Amino acid sequence: MFRQREGSPFRGLAVVALKEAADHMTSMRVHLVMLLILLTALGSVYAAIGQIKETVGEDAFLFLRLFTTAREPLPSFVAFLGFLLPLVAIALGFDSINGEYNRRTLPRVLSQPIYRDALLTGKFVGGLIIIGMCLLVLWLLMTGLGILLLGLPPSGEEVLRGIAYLFAAFAYAGVWLAVALLFSTLFRTPATSALATLTVWLLMTVFWSMLAPLLAGVLAPIDPLDPMTAVHQVEVQQAIARISPNVLYGEMTLGLLHPETRTFGLLFPSQVSQALMGAPLPVSQSLMLIWPQLSSMIAAFLVLFTIAYVSFQRQEIRP
């Protein structure tokens, strides 16, 4: 007979999360990744400020250009972050569960009044805490450097857009943390889980943009006699491309940090009716524009975490 569990299944969640966050804070692996992000952020903001002073004139959103302006050979800050945030999440989560197996500490931990629910959720929350701290420090650093080097403070709307971008980047990193946690649950060796997570990351970041047109051509071929089939193929290609978190992150960045953005796909006449082209959208309209991408990102990491949760609950753990 099965014994009914006593107390909350998430008893000990805060302890596990804080312990996991503390372990990450003292990990040399995490320190190296954070140092890499810090150096690239400083390099990109320095290059952006030089480019802004040379090419950008009067601009109502000059402060936002710090995040999006690139100068050869360096990409913009948001492009750097889009590339490096998944690596941070993978470094935090690829050995969360199987590392406990290999160290033979998992049975000892679960022998305490801590359920599997609290253990898995605490490890996920601990990783999110570190990612949130990293993003907040970077955002404050970028803001401080912008005020110091540009000589002007950001407007209220720019602050709101910056905070919204911070949350979007956090959701983006959360997806990759959930992917790393899932593979850490499915595979018993950290090397295998790290390799599987990096494979998915490379597929979605590098190769997915090449595969999307090919898949769209197969699923929605163009009929020469019907011009609307070309429009349908573009829509299918865009939907396939949005399976990649990198594409969703890019669209959210475009909608938040480029206020004049009105759409991410084909521009139909109804979208520009009575609109002044080039005029910036209010913050509320930009948030409505990126809401499908943001909600998809949140749903993705919830689904991935749920799969990892169910898999972990069904595993047999022996001393």
Per-residue pLDDT tens digits of the chain, which is 319 residues long: 445 556 566 677 888 888 888 888 888 888 888 888 888 877 777 777 777 766 655 666 778 888 888 777 778 888 888 888 998 899 998 888 888 888 888 777 777 777 788 888 899 999 999 999 888 888 888 888 878 877 778 888 888 998 999 999 999 999 999 999 999 999 988 889 999 999 999 999 989 988 988 998 888 888 777 777 887 888 888 889 999 999 999 999 999 988 888 887 665 444 444 555 557 788 888 899 999 999 999 999 899 999 999 998 887 776 5
Only one residue has tokens 């089939």, namely: 229
**What's the pLDDT score for residue 267?**
54
Q: Which amino acid is at 220?
A: A
- Three-state SS string across the chain, please? CCCCCCCCCCCCHHHHHHHHHHHHHCCHHHHHHHHHHHHHHHHHHHHHHHHHHHHCCCCCCCCCHHHHCCECCECCHHHHHHHHHHHHHHHHHCCCCHHHHHCCCHHHHHCCCCCHHHHHHHHHHHHHHHHHHHHHHHHHHHHHHHHHHHCCCCCHHHHHHHHHHHHHHHHHHHHHHHHHHHHHHHCCCHHHHHHHHHHHHHHHHHHHHHHHHHHHHHHCCCCCCCCHHHHHHHHHHHHHHCCCHHHHHHHHHHHHHCCCCCCCCCCCHHHHCCCCCCCCCCHHHHHHHHHHHHHHHHHHHHHHHHHHHHHHHHCCCCC
**What's the pLDDT score for residue 182?**
93
**What's the pLDDT score for residue 99?**
84
**What's the pLDDT score for residue 153?**
81
**What's the pLDDT score for residue 1?**
41
**Selection from 245, 240, 265 nearest residue 255 by Cα:** 265
CA distance 156 to 160: 6
Q: What is the pTM of this model?
A: 0.88
Task: Find how far residue 197's CA is from the centre of its chain.
Answer: 14
**What's the pLDDT score for residue 6?**
62
